[in-house]
Amino acid sequence: MSGVLTVVGLGPGNDAQITPEVTAALAKATDVVGYIPYVKRIPVREGLTLHATDNRVELDRAVHALEMAAAGRRVVVVSSGDPGVFAMASAVFETLEKNPAFGSIQIEIMPGVTAMLAAAARVGAPLGHDFCAINLSDNLKPWATVERRLRLAAQADFAMALYNPRSAARPHQFALVLEILREECGPDRLIVFARAVTTPEERITVMSVMEADADMADMRTVVLVGNAATRRVGPYLYTPRHAE
Amino acid sequence: MSGVLTVVGLGPGNDAQITPEVTAALAKATDVVGYIPYVKRIPVREGLTLHATDNRVELDRAVHALEMAAAGRRVVVVSSGDPGVFAMASAVFETLEKNPAFGSIQIEIMPGVTAMLAAAARVGAPLGHDFCAINLSDNLKPWATVERRLRLAAQADFAMALYNPRSAARPHQFALVLEILREECGPDRLIVFARAVTTPEERITVMSVMEADADMADMRTVVLVGNAATRRVGPYLYTPRHAE
């Protein structure tokens, strides 16, 4: 089986943040595969079939995409943000590993603007010093691992980007995250809730972790947490480039 | 003083990774300000003045840009990659903080594809699980802080992106970084040297930290380090979405 499968990032929502190489890949595609809200962003045109699937079926979606690529179709898998950050690229390689028959299909990954970078840009430069990105979902890892990483990240004084902070299946965990942050970082640490960043529904709020409430995050929110030096300057939030 | 200052990311090198919103901002600019190699990427045109300055003068550069914005010019500060990741956005806010006279200038940040995401895409999906980004330069922080963060990041089992791994001013430090990684992560941990990613001079090598040598990194290299589960599948490198 030969073929090429392209996995692209659409950026967080605003089409003006889709890179030209991704736009060109989409223009040549015969099939676009992805989660429903991301596939909805692709304009319908003759010769293009859209395959939109529900959440949590990443591996089925990857198998389907690889099968079509093996059949000679020009398949593009779409992710929001960057495909390599808590998105479809990893799922495609996992599928490749489990299905050696797909081994000769060439995989091409095209990066995008991931949500944390777009959110950071909207408030200033909170990720201007060393930082980390943690997926808070415990679908794919134990909650204890999430908690341990949060504590070590705080001890390293990383600024943090927290993806998937909250979902209907686990409404209570984000309250625990806020407790850990208050404990490890103190009550005054600055936190940003960036919901639906760069879209018409964008809503961004900045406050201290003491003022933060678990209901402020939902599935469309990326949360940024400053490091010990993160501060406000006018309406902006930034983390200095230097550190003690 | 009023005015608008726009700070943009040009992505790591390939113009096909510059977002349309950045291209539009550059098309309207009267002045472009930045480090020499990044300003060189901007096509010359009538009505546009290019202000290219040397490295390590970020604050002077920011003052100059803010002064021109205050004088009513349409100024764009360019960074490589994303402006909020070890780049000019933080320097602009630092300048704003030190010079309250610039307080009424509006600052607009436009994100870009940062080097670690482009490098990850070229090899597969090594940042597909929780990860951190550390600037290895000790120009702006003590070396002890760098070392402590590396050890905590390894203990948290973050994949890592290491920016500014090596420069002429500090040729020996990256050898220490490799020692720390061998000690904390074991000899088989996978490491990627991605030099000049997406440019014609791109050179990407993947190996174990045991095989790695300090000379493999230079000023144009971003280094990626896998987590404990990062593995090869065919010619690719990926980090599974799940963890113990």
Q: DSSP letters along B71-112, please?
A: TT--EEEEESB-TTSSSHHHHHHHHHHH-GGGTTSEEEEE--
Angle of helix B173-185 relative to helix B143-155, nearest 10 degrees, comes to 20
B24/A20 Cβ within 8 A:
no
Residues B126 and B232 in one domain: yes
Q: Are strands A159-163 and A221-225 parallel, antiparallel or unpaired?
A: antiparallel
Residues B130 and B214 in one domain: yes
Instruction: Residue B138: give its domain's CATH number.
Output: 3.30.950.10
pLDDT digits over B64-87, tens only?
Answer: 999 999 999 999 999 999 999 999
Residues of chain B neighbouring A117 (CB-CB closer than 8 A)? 82, 84-85, 111-112, 114
In this structure, what token pair is assigned to residue B34? Answer: 């930045």
pLDDT band at B8 (very low <50, low <70, confident <90, very high): very high
Domain of A180 in residue numbering reads as: 116-238
- Output the pLDDT for position A138: 79
- Could you tell me if residue B218 is inside a domain? yes
A129/B238 Cβ within 8 A:
no
Q: How far apart are CA A132 and CA A126, in angstroms?
A: 12
Instruction: Residue B81: give its domain's CATH number.
Output: 3.40.1010.10
Distance from CA of A134 to the nearest CA of B (A): 5
A128/B107 Cβ within 8 A:
no
B14/A16 Cβ within 8 A:
no
Question: Between A96, A127, A128, which is nearest B234 by CB?
Answer: A96
Q: Are strands B236-238 and B124-125 parallel, antiparallel or unpaired?
A: parallel
Summarize the confidence of residues A40-58 as an average pLDDT: 93
C-alpha pair distances (Å), A206 with each of A209, A213, B108, B200? 9, 12, 17, 41
Q: Give the end of a domain, one of B56, B79, B113.
A: B113
- Could you tell me if residue B244 is inside a domain? no
- Output the pLDDT for position B2: 78
DSSP string, chain A: ---EEEEEE-BSS-GGGS-HHHHHHHHH-SEEEEEHHHHTTSPP-TT-EEEEE-TT-HHHHHHHHHHHHHTT--EEEEESB-TTSSSHHHHHHHHHHH-GGGTTSEEEEE----HHHHHHHHHEETTSSSEEEEE---SSS-HHHHHHHHHHHHHTT-EEEEES---TT-TTHHHHHHHHHHHHH-TT-EEEEEESTTSTT-EEEEEETTT--GGG--TTEEEEE--TT-EEETTEEE--S---
- Note whether B95 and B59 are within 8 A (CB): yes
- Note whether A58 and B201 are within 8 A (CB): no
B236/A93 Cβ within 8 A:
yes
Summarize the confidence of residues A121-148 as an average pLDDT: 94
B94/A241 Cβ within 8 A:
yes
Question: Between A14, A19, A121, which is nearest B109 by CB?
Answer: A121
Question: Between A121, A155, A238, which is nearest B152 by CB?
Answer: A155
In this structure, what token pair is assigned to residue A38? Answer: 């991301």
- Could you tell me if residue B40 is inside a domain? yes
Q: Pick the residue of A4, A104, A109, A137 with the most B CBs within 10 A to test the interface with B by mutation.
A: A109
- Note whether A85 and A163 are within 8 A (CB): yes
Looking at chain A, the whole-number percentage of residues with pLDDT higher than 90 is 90
pLDDT band at B1 (very low <50, low <70, confident <90, very high): low
End-to-end CA distance of chain B: 55
Which residue does chain A place closest to B18, by CA atoms?
A19
Which residue does chain B place closest to A132, by CA atoms?
B132
Identity at B184, one-letter amino acid code: E
Residues A123 and A109 in one domain: no
Q: How far apart are CA A136 and CA A139, in angstroms?
A: 9
- Output the pLDDT for position A1: 62
Q: How far apart are CA A47 and CA A30, in angstroms?
A: 6
Question: Hey, which residues does A131 pair with through a beta bridge?
Answer: A159, B133
pLDDT digits over B20-57, tens only?
Answer: 999 999 999 999 999 999 999 999 999 999 999 987 78
Residues of chain B neighbouring A116 (CB-CB closer than 8 A)? none
DSSP string, B168-199: TT-TTHHHHHHHHHHHHH-TT-EEEEEESTTS
Query: Is the four-CA dihedral B175, B193, B126, A9 of positive or negative sign?
Result: positive
Candidates A103, A26, A90, A17; CA nearest to A59 is: A90
pLDDT digits over B152-211, tens only?
Answer: 999 999 999 999 998 777 778 999 999 999 999 999 999 999 999 999 999 999 999 999
Residues A98 and A211 in one domain: no
Which residue does chain B place closest to A155, by CA atoms?
B152
Q: Is pLDDT larger for residue A89 or for residue B244? A: A89
Q: Pick the residue of B130, B141, B155 with the most A CBs within 10 A to test the interface with A by mutation.
A: B130
B127/A149 Cβ within 8 A:
no
Q: Give the end of a domain, one of A75, A98, A113.
A: A113
Q: How far apart are CA B51 and CA B35, in angstroms?
A: 9
Residues B94 and B145 in one domain: no
**What b/e sequence results for A43-62 when a residue is b if at least 16 CB atoms lie within 10 Å of its CB, and e otherwise?**
eeeeebebebeeeeebeebb
Candidates B109, B222, B106; CA nearest to A128 is: B109
pLDDT digits over A51-88, tens only?
Answer: 999 877 889 999 999 999 999 999 999 999 999 999 99
Q: How far apart are CA A215 and CA B26, in angstroms?
A: 39
Summarize the confidence of residues A3-30 as an average pLDDT: 98
Looking at chain B, the whole-number percentage of residues with pLDDT higher than 70 is 100
Q: How far apart are CA A1 and CA A70, in angstroms?
A: 5
Indicate whether A233 pLDDT > 80. yes
Residues A83 and A40 in one domain: yes
B142/A149 Cβ within 8 A:
no
- Could you tell me if residue A92 is inside a domain? yes
Q: Can you tell me whether residue B5 is helix, strand or coil? A: strand
- Could you tell me if residue A174 is inside a domain? yes
Residues A121 and A200 in one domain: yes
Residues B98 and B126 in one domain: no
- Note whether A59 and A96 are within 8 A (CB): no
Spatial neighbors of B67 by CB under 8 A, at least 6 apart, are none
Q: In the 8-state DSSP scheme, what is residue B139? A: S
Candidates A194, A238, A82, A228; CA nearest to B7 is: A238
Distance from CA of A70 to the nearest CA of B (A): 16
DSSP string, A109-141: EE----HHHHHHHHHEETTSSSEEEEE---SSS
Residues B228 and B123 in one domain: yes
- Could you tell me if residue A244 is inside a domain? no
- Could you tell me if residue B90 is inside a domain? yes
- Could you tell me if residue A32 is inside a domain? yes
Q: Sheet holding B106-110: strands in order across?
A: B49-53, B31-35, B75-79, B4-9, B106-110
How many Cβ pairs within 8 Å bridge chains A and B?
226
Q: How far apart are CA A154 and CA A131, in angstroms?
A: 10
Q: Give the end of a domain, one of A113, A147, A179.
A: A113
Q: How far apart are CA A223 and CA B214, in angstroms?
A: 36
Q: Pick the residue of B99, B122, B152, B190 with the most A CBs within 10 A to test the interface with A by mutation.
A: B152
Helix or strand holding residue B205 (H, E): strand B203-208
User: Based on the structure, what is the number of domains in chain B?
Assistant: 2
